[in-house]
Structure 1
Amino acid sequence: MMNMISINREAMKVVRRILEAPEPLGVLVERLACGATVIDMGQKVPGGWVAGRYYTLITLGGLAEVSYEPFPIGERMLSAVRVMIDHPQLACIASQIAGWRLEGAREGAPILAGPARALNRNSPDHYFDLIDYCDQAEEGVIAIQTAEPVTDDWATTIAAACRLKPENLYILVAPNSSLVCAIQVAARIVEQSLHRLAEEGFDVKTVRHAHGFGVIPPLIRDEVIAMGRINDSLLYGGVSTLYVDAEDEAITAVIDKVVSVASRAYGRPFVEIYEEAGRDFYQIPLDLHSPAVLHINNLKSGRTFSAGEINYAVLRKSFFGESQMERG
């Protein structure tokens, strides 16, 4: 059943909506010399709420519902993005995870997310070891979280790895500082939960349905501070709920390990941790990249297991520069 669904064909249905009317979405569509199409959602143009929903839906392989809801932090009211997912392995593991480190391109090549990861025949990333899936499609969509312009070198390398003609490759881009990026990162809360469960040995093939929501942080043009805030939205303000068909013992063995509060690095804004690590992501404990809160409903027993907490104090410090002391 999983191999009957093409995440690239599903995602292309959304891409075509964008191509029909990019201007009202605050989106710019450009064709590279090689023929690949770049859909700019925040570099040269502002993007927007609808563009952010489309970007998120595309990176989920078109297999989700994406909506917005209020998220109060004290007296302030922010927005949160909610994702409802019926094929979590395909939407999150095969598509949304940023798991493809682009090889063969010039220095500074990015890490890629999106459904075209499942077309990569040159060096499939290790996340595909967790599920039994590969895609076949004549068009592919990839997403890059970057402030750098997409180059012909990147596009031709991606197209070659996916066995695509460059003119059949579509590349979404949005920098950390954009609204679209803030939305799509907050929407990665289920993906973040799944990869942490897998790292602790839980069989993610048992996950049947999922939903999650994450707070969308205030925007700032500084790319490093923006990167810190979007990470904080997951670590301190993201809630994930999974519906699994497993043994209760398998859930209790891992649930307290896969929330951010379990990490020794927990408790400070991400940008502080990042700076302390010399701006080297590889020096940050892997277990910090976890949801703030995780609920797991076991379909087999009917029990629901929960761990973690939303940390409003860190969110206030990260988003508004407020300390607990300043608030009295």
Structure 2
Amino acid sequence: MPPPGRPRGRELLRLRERLPAPVTAALAEYERHLSLERDLSAHTVRAYLSDVLSLLAHMAEPVAEDDDQPLQVELTALDLTALRSWLAQLRTAGASRTTLARRAAAARTFTAWATRRGYLPADPGPMLMAPRPHRVLPGVLRQDQADTLMRAAESGAAEGDPIALRDQALVELLYATGIRVSELCALDLPDIDYSARVIRVLGKGGRQRTVPFGVPAEKALSRWLDEGRSALVRPGSPEAVLLGARGGRLDQRTARRVVHEAVGAVPGAVDMGPHGLRHSAATHLLEGGADLRTVQELLGHATLATTQLYTHVTVERLKAIHDRTHPRS
């Protein structure tokens, strides 16, 4: 049988090939639902399908250790017992609470869809309990550390090296806007409105939002576009705002490495990537007086609850608000 973890790559393909034809057809329909109806990213769709395939492989009748043998499984056998057994096997294999919670959520999404489409007579998903994940918020930069980071990036770009100019624009935009690294790397030149000093971002679930950026980010971005980008452009280069060294769209892994290295040079700063800069931006907005609804809109969160979990307010700010607003403070 396949290992209890999430299948990937070739293993994912082999599992799909070994499923019975009716199950394969249902999975293809589910994939279209996730991609076209819910407009999820390709990465998210793969993650959902991987979890479902892991579940189906767990349900399959035992076969000899020959990866070419068909998996004997039927969707109608997917019930609460199968779901619980799957999660128990994952837990025994060492899956974390966060992983179990994510897999359970993926399973519930699938069983709800399968019930609506008539593949299941009843939805067992709502009865499935999973441990709550431990939410560990990333560390944040202090405002003086963020200033040190931006000054260091500016100093590195002073000599006009194209990569240094790009990296300065990268860290400035991430901190100025709080956008996700995937959103930053997906930005195209027409997405920038210089007159209003905003960028148009396509976020999760295909939701579009407009995010402002400040004067320092504008200067770094303008210098990169005016002096650095042309040195990296190649025939066939996309109209991406940020380019890699070979002229293609900047890869997210490269962006993460740039941030890790830049933050690592700031004395006393915790190690972080782009997500840490996003969290730092949100925290500093709150410390400066922004309300949660505004931060929710800037970050592109679907619900305010996500913003409340994603950000934190300093004790000093809470005390200040209490002192200003409570009649018996």
**TM-score bin, normalised by smaller chain:** under 0.3
TM-score (structure 2 length as normaliser)? 0.21
Structure index of larger Rg: 2
More strand by share: 1
TM-score (structure 1 length as normaliser)? 0.21
